[in-house]
Amino acid sequence: METTLIILKPDAVQRGLMGRIISRFEDKGLQVAGAKFMRISPELAARHYTDHEGKPFYEGLVSFMTSSPVLVLALRGCGAISICRSMMGATFGSKADPGTIRGDFGVSNSFNLIHGSDSVESAARELELFFETSELIDWQRAGEGWIYDLSSGTPE
């Protein structure tokens, strides 16, 4: 099982899309292991986007991410990182396929609704930035056997 970080960005929050986006992930079979409604501080945004420091869009990105509350999620499941990335769609809503979150809800090349970790390593780093270990809940869903084939003893 993987756990990944998802951030519903200020535009998703301001447009009232949080519930619809979370429903998509839960409908897919992903488990919410943590959730936090928060304002990202400039310092936290700088640490989160450290790889983009010095790029032309960096200052605008930090400003945007600190402009309004966000919903930070820890989602868990087999292949959660690649599943979430696929569900998010292409970075820009204008280029994202219909059926993806960005393809269905976005048209902007600046506001793209959602962030998702792109690798196991970045997920671990990002989860540590936004969650204390005690805030991530390991729990068993009653319907887990209906989401994954558990006949071999491990989820498939």
- Per-domain boundaries in the chain: 2-139
- Residue 75 · residue 33 · CB < 8 Å: yes
CATH of domain 2-139: 3.30.70.141
pLDDT per position as a tens digit, 45-83: 999 999 999 999 999 999 999 999 999 999 999 999 999
- Residue 40 · residue 66 · CB < 8 Å: yes
What's the N-to-C CA distance of the chain in angstroms?
10
- Residue 88 · residue 63 · CB < 8 Å: no
Q: Which two tokens stand for residue 29?
A: 């079979």
Average pLDDT, the chain: 95
β-bridge mates for residue 72, sequence order? 7, 36
Q: What amino acid positions are annotated as catalytic residues?
A: 115
Whole-structure pTM value? 0.94
